[in-house]
Amino acid sequence: MLLTLVGEESADVRAVAGVVLATSEDRTPEVADAPAALVDEEDRITRREAGYGLAVRDDPRTAVALERLGPLTGPEYRHAHRADAVRSWWRRNPPAST
């Protein structure tokens, strides 16, 4: 049921589903696909949850999600565990030098 909410018409419903699925202990491909489906959402918080959900799973789609999210800077992200997980993912997966 929760997985179907990611495709709901309501952005608020998609956002809540994204939060719950991002923090889920379930590591099945279906649950990993749910945050990936939210990376293009207009709402930045929903995109942040999608990026976080992919980062904690070390999903290969994380880089694209985080690029679309943009930097997590500012005082509100200084001690935020989601931002910490994203920064940790970037440290483990630095962008390739060009």
66-86 tens-digit pLDDT: 888 888 888 888 888 888 888
The whole-angstrom separation of Cα 61 and Cα 54 is 7
Looking at residue 94, its pLDDT comes to 86
Q: Are 17 and 8 in contact (CB under 8 A)?
A: yes
The whole-angstrom separation of Cα 1 and Cα 51 is 22
Quick check: 98 pLDDT over 60? no
6-19 tens-digit pLDDT: 999 999 999 899 88
User: Cα torsion for 6, 25, 65, 48, to the nearest 10°?
Assistant: 80
Helix, strand, coil fractions of the chain, as percent rounded to 5: 60, 0, 40
38-75 tens-digit pLDDT: 999 999 889 988 999 999 999 999 999 988 888 888 88
Rounded average pLDDT over 22-30:
89
